[in-house]
Amino acid sequence: MKRLLLCLIFFSFPALSQESIVFGVHSKTAPLEWRNNGVDQGFNIELMHRIGQLTDKRIIIRRKSFQQLVKDVHNPGSDIDVIAVVSPVNLDRKLSQSDPIYATHAKAYTLQGKALINSWTDLVGKRVAIKKGAFVDVYLSGYPQKFNRVDVDLYETGFKQLIEGEVDVVIAESFVARRLLPLYPSVRSSSDALIYGAFNFVCNGKKAALMQEINDALRQLKLSGEYDRLVNKWFGTGREKVDLTSTEKRMFSLAILVAIVSASGMIYTGFISASLRRRKKALDAELIQRRRVEAEISNISKQFQSVLDGIPHGVTIVNRELQRLWSNDNNVHLLISEDFHYIDDQAFDLRPAVLQVLNEQKSLIADMMYLEQYWQLQIHPIANDQVVVLLEESTEQHKLRQANEEASRLASLGELSAGIAHEINNPTGLILHAISLFSAAIKDLNPAANYYQQQNPFWQIAGLAPSQAMEEMAVSSDTIEEAAKRISRIVNDLKRYALPNLTQDHTLVCLNEVVEVALRLTANQTKTRQVTKLLHLPSPRIMGDAQQLHQVLINLIQNACHACAAHEGSIQISTQVSQGRALIKVNDNGCGMDSATLKRITEPFFTTRRTEGGSGLGLSVCSRIIKEHQGQMQIHSAPGKGTRIQLSFALVQE
pLDDT of residue 32: 46
More confident residue, 269 or 642: 642
Q: What integer is the mean pLDDT of 213-232?
A: 87
- Of 183-192, 291-300, 500-509, 578-587, the range with the lowest mean pLDDT is 500-509
Q: Which residue has the higher pLDDT, 4 or 644?
A: 644
Give the pairing of strands 507-510 and 541-544: antiparallel
Q: Does the structure show a pLDDT above 80 at 543?
A: yes
Mean pLDDT value of segment 514-533: 88
Percent over 90 (pLDDT), the chain: 20
Is the separation of the CB atoms in 445 and 467 below 8 Å?
A: no
d(C-alpha 174, C-alpha 177), whole Å: 5
Residue 459 confidence class, pLDDT cut points 50, 70, 90:
confident
Beta bridge partners of 443: none
Q: What is the C-alpha separation between 520 and 529, in angstroms, rounded? A: 14
Q: CA separation (Å) from 235 to 261, 567, 599? A: 30, 104, 85
Task: Tell me what pLDDT residue 11 has.
Answer: 38
Average pLDDT over residues 377-386: 88
- Give the least confident one: 206-220, 393-407, 485-499, 556-570: 485-499
Provide the pLDDT for residue 483. Answer: 81
Least confident interval from 66-70, 115-119, 538-542, 570-574: 66-70
* Average pLDDT for 391-412: 71
Looking only at the bridges linking them, the beta strands covering 530-534 and 340-342 are unpaired
* Of residues 113 and 429, more confidently modeled: 113
**Per-residue model confidence as pLDDT tens digits over 280-313:** 888 888 889 888 888 888 877 777 667 666 677 7
Query: Which of 38-47, 133-142, 418-427 is the most confident on average?
Result: 133-142
Closest CA to 536 of 581, 481, 594: 581
- Please say if the pLDDT value at position 113 is more than 70: yes
Q: Is the pLDDT of residue 401 over 70?
A: yes
Mean pLDDT of 83-106: 75
Per-residue pLDDT, averaged over 29-49, amounts to 64
pLDDT at residue 406, rounded to an integer:
62
The larger pLDDT score, comparing residue 563 to residue 415, is at 563
Question: Which residues lie below 8 Å from residue 457, measured CB to CB, with a gap of 6+?
Answer: none
pLDDT at 39 > cutoff 70: no
pLDDT at 248: 54
If one compares 354 and 208, the residue with the highest pLDDT of the two is 354
Q: What is the DSSP string of 103-124?
A: EEEEEEEEETTSPP--SGGGGT
pLDDT of 90 higher than 80 = no
Q: From start to end of 98-246, where are the E strands?
A: 102-111, 127-131, 148-152, 169-173, 187-189, 195-203
* pLDDT of amino acid 64: 78
pLDDT tens digit string along 612-649? 656 666 788 888 889 889 999 999 999 999 999 999 99
**Contact (CB, 8 A) for 75 and 204:** yes
Each residue's pLDDT tens digit, 333-351: 888 888 898 988 889 999 8
pLDDT band at 397 (very low <50, low <70, confident <90, very high): confident
Which of 228-242, 357-371, 629-643 shows the lowest per-residue confidence on average (mean pLDDT)? 228-242
- CA angle, 256 as apex, 251 and 258 as ends, to 5°? 85
Please give the Cα distance from 393 to 376 (Å, whole number). Answer: 6
520 pLDDT tier (thresholds 50, 70, 90): confident
